[in-house]
């Protein structure tokens, strides 16, 4: 059902935790399945220098959160905004169709964190 990459990111998630003095925080959830993702960003000169996540949800939700943090770290904000839920799923060698709609909110959480950071800069 799940690819080896999904299982690896579920069993060994990268970048789990919180950033106490985060520059941007994004929170998204899906009430249908109960998955909730929170992403914390540290940003220096428009580059994501640190990123952490906390996720409540199934294995796919944890894996997508882990993968998006790996994909976004070191990228500019504009580059990170180009990451999509589809690109996260592809980086994990796919997700089962029933998991795409609810468990893959990772890019949405990343985008929300970037939006939060940019709001604070105004």
Active site residue 33: yes
Active-site entry in 7, 19, 33, 47: 33
Residue 21, helix vs strand vs coil: coil
CA 27 to chain centre: 10
| Alpha-carbon Rg for the chain in angstroms | 13
Active site residue 58: no
Q: Dihedral (C-alpha) 66, 61, 97, 92: value to the nearest 10 degrees?
A: 10
Phi-psi region of 78 (alpha: psi -120 to 50; beta: other; left: phi over 0): alpha
Active-site entry in 102, 106, 109, 110: 102
List residues with catalytic annotation: 33, 102
């Amino acid at each position: 059902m799940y690819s080896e990459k999904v299982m690896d990111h579920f069993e060994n998630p990268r970048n789990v935790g919180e950033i106490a003095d985060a520059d941007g925080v994004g929170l998204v959830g899906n009430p249908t399945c109960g998955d909730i993702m929170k992403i914390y960003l540290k940003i220096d000169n428009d580059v994501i220098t640190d990123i952490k996540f906390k996720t409540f949800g199934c294995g796919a939700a944890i894996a997508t959160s882990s993968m998006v943090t790996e994909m976004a770290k070191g990228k500019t904000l504009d580059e990170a905004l180009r990451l999509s839920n589809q690109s996260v799923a592809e980086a994990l060698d796919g997700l089962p169709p029933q998991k795409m709609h609810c468990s893959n909110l990772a890019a949405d959480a990343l985008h929300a964190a970037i939006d939060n950071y940019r709001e604070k800069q105004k």
